[in-house]
Copies of this chain bind each other. A is one copy, B any other.
Amino acid sequence: MISKIKVSDIRFPLDGNAGSDAIHRDPVYSYAVTQLMDDSGITGTGFAFTLGEGNNLVCQAAEYYARLLTGRDIEETMASFGELFRTLSNDQQFRWLGPHKGVVHLALASVTNACYDLWAKKRGVPLWKLLTELSPEQIVNTLDLSYLEDELTYDQAVSMLTEQLSQKEARKSILDKGYPGYDTSVGWFNYPDEMVKENCKKALAQGFTAMKLKVGAADPDRDIRRAHIVREIAGDDIKVMLDANQQWNLPRAIDTCTRLKSMNPYWIEEPTHPDDVNAHTKLADAIAPVRLALGEHVPNKIIFKNYLQAGSSSFMQVDAVRVGGVSEFITISLMCKKFGVPVVPHVGDMGQLHQHLVLFNHIGMGHQALFLEHIPHLQKHFANPAKIVNGVYLTPQEAGSSCDLLILKN
């Protein structure tokens, strides 16, 4: 039984321009952390990610939701978590502040993720293992499919998972091989050219076969120059992704993306405003065959559904510490699977939670094991930091979702 809750506002200033992009020049990586203490002595930990200011608001909203969980048994709760999620996310007064977006939805992510962590810890297994061992019905019972009835009903979701059952064993080979990573940190926005060059070489030496550069400069020539620097060092076989972090408007995005074609980007990420489904459609048409990626700022399953229906984004970067947590992440992954679009999460969690989720997406849902973003900046703060060796995430073995922070231990 959940007997106590604790919500903490944890902020980690970054060193030397790490984390900077075209829009966010001075981020403070921060977590609104929910801890659910079980009377058996086990603590479930979950969080949402922010960039600093306002992290306290997410914490206050998380406390509101978390209080509603006091006295609940975690196994019973997770047996029908989809219903609980629906109830919490439609809280009659709180709902006005979204619905299903912004501070209240980030807060719901924090609480939801703590539930999944507690669930896995109580069973004594890593979250990926718990998820891959659930039956299709048990999985779908943790999901809230409301407002998706035109694309994904309960029965359709169960069928999709059932179809994958026969291939689960074979796909478990990923557990030994490790899930491929890609290096996001070769070219943060404020890094000078020389540093980008050095970082590219380091990434190659570390075994990465994919890496990302921040673009979206006031002067597009800077973007073009830096993109070609990375391509030159990386060579033609390495995947190089470009990330504009919403900096462009549509006409500007069409111009600059067209110029960037020449360096053959694997994708161009967040070219414009994350709410602008229609602009992405027009852009994708204008710059084909260059592909788009987005999702880092898409707040919920409903806008993801709209992007999938529009067909403009070739990679969906849903983040379980942005949308309403693991439950909504799985819901969105199911829709992506239906539409044949790979899920490549943004990792506000620094990959700690998502290393579990992509294993489930591959083994249980049949998603391609493409690669998972790797951001190393907060590794020293986690009790069980993700291990990336030779460009590959080693499969986590500890119980839970790997989200415990050292500062909150003891």
Contact = CB atoms under 8 A, between A and B. Distances in A.
A283 to B, nearest CB: 10
Interface string A88-100: 0011111111111
A406 interface: no
Interface stretch (A69-77, A102-110, A180-188, A199-207): A102-110
A388 to B, nearest CB: 25
B57 A93 contact: no
Contacts of A97: 50, 54, 57-58, 102-103, 106
Nearest to A105: B102
Contacts of A87: none
How many interface residues does chain A have, given as a range?
A: 35 or more
B150 A282 contact: yes
- Please give the count of copies of this chain that the complex contains: 2
A392 to B, nearest CB: 29
A396 interface: no
A278 interface: yes
A51 B93 contact: yes
Nearest to A57: B57
B93 A150 contact: no
B64 A99 contact: no
Interface string A46-75: 000011111011101100100000000000
A278 to B, nearest CB: 5
A306 interface: yes
Contacts of A303: 275
A375 B36 CA distance: 42
Nearest to A49: B96
Interface of A: 23-28, 50-54, 56-58, 60-61, 64, 90-106, 146-150, 246, 249-252, 272-279, 282, 297, 299-300, 302-303, 305-306, 309-310
